Amino acid sequence: MKYYMVDAFTNEHFKGNPAGVCVLETMLPAEQMQQIAAEHNLSETAFLLKTEEGYQLRWFTPGFEIDLCGHATLASAFVVFQYLEPELTEVVFHTMSGDLTVVRKANLYEMSFPQRLPEKINITPEAIAIFGSNSLELYSDRDLYVVMETERQVRGYVPDYNELKCFKNWLGVVITAKGEDTDFVSRYFCPELTLEDPVTGSTHSTLIPMWSNRLKKDKLVAKQLSARGGTLYCEMGERDVKISGEAVLYMTGEIMIS
């Protein structure tokens, strides 16, 4: 099968978040897709299958399938628009999280994602011990969200994954704060995989409503402060959020499996 590797949420190589995109002719068993994702060992590998109404899209980490992924969706849209169907300006992906629409607007790829409104929860002793008293608020959704006082605290945080594993009720841990040069910043840690994700589009389904409400504005610019870094252009809608970013091709190839 044809394989693409794309750096998402950036226009530079070795920045943003790399994702693998496999273009299928027929749907593979989930076990085989999981094996391929483990072989690639990227944070996400996407699997695309053309349908009459668009494309079926599934996302796999090296360890498991997930229900929503932003950077691998952006990478998949980039592949569709640049290589599979360059005449298109809009594509619909059928996913575990419903139909996701991506629109090409010049160099940006605008994704419409569902809003995920988090539940505010009490600050726990574990959170204070791990993040310190600079953690202002905690929110719960698929991931745990920790609101800090400053961008500097987010940028300077050093994760201890053994400590973060105490938050076993959530897929990942997000730390976030008001930005200095942008509206807000964040970082994402996955304790189970002991890694920091470079740029996490799916968490912005929650971060955009949080910061739109806090800052009283609908259009926001966000940065994820990982080593690779990435910029996301965000907009709050009535029922969804729009997340836009750039992408650049790193590699193409063919996967040889029997």
Q: Count the Cβ atoms, other than its own, within 10 Å of residue 150.
A: 14
pLDDT at 225: 98
Reported as a single tens digit per residue, the pLDDT across 145-164 is 999 999 999 999 999 999 99
Q: Which of 9-13, 115-119, 122-126, 154-158 has the lowest mean pLDDT?
A: 122-126
pLDDT at 67: 93
pLDDT at 136: 79
Mean pLDDT computed over every residue of the chain? 96
Q: Count the Cβ atoms, other than its own, within 10 Å of residue 135.
A: 18
pLDDT at 132: 85
Instruction: Name beta bridge partners: 219.
Output: 235
What DSSP designation does 123 have?
P
* Beta strands in the chain, from DSSP E residues, in sequence order: 2-8, 17-24, 45-51, 54-60, 65-66, 90-95, 98-105, 108-114, 119-121, 135-140, 144-148, 173-178, 184-190, 195-197, 219-224, 230-236, 240-245, 247-254
| In the predicted structure, residue 63 carries a pLDDT above the cut 80 | yes
Share of the chain above pLDDT 90, in %: 94
For residues 97 and 80, give the distance between their C-alpha atoms in angstroms, rounded to a whole number: 20
Average pLDDT over residues 166-184: 96
Q: Residue 53 catalytic?
A: no
What DSSP designation does 42 have?
S
Q: Which of 31, 44, 137, 192 does the annotation list as catalytic?
A: 44
Reported as a single tens digit per residue, the pLDDT across 105-120 is 999 999 999 999 999 9
For residues 140 and 119, give the distance between their C-alpha atoms in angstroms, rounded to a whole number: 5
For residues 174 and 142, give the distance between their C-alpha atoms in angstroms, rounded to a whole number: 11
User: pTM for the full model?
Assistant: 0.92
For residues 148 and 185, give the distance between their C-alpha atoms in angstroms, rounded to a whole number: 10
pLDDT at 133: 78
pLDDT at 114: 92
Reported as a single tens digit per residue, the pLDDT across 186-229 is 999 999 889 999 999 999 999 999 999 999 999 999 999 999 99
Contact 52, 41 (CB under 8 A): no
Confidence of residue 124 (pLDDT cuts 50, 70, 90): confident
| In the predicted structure, residue 75 carries a pLDDT above the cut 80 | yes
pLDDT at 161: 97
| In the predicted structure, residue 258 carries a pLDDT above the cut 80 | no
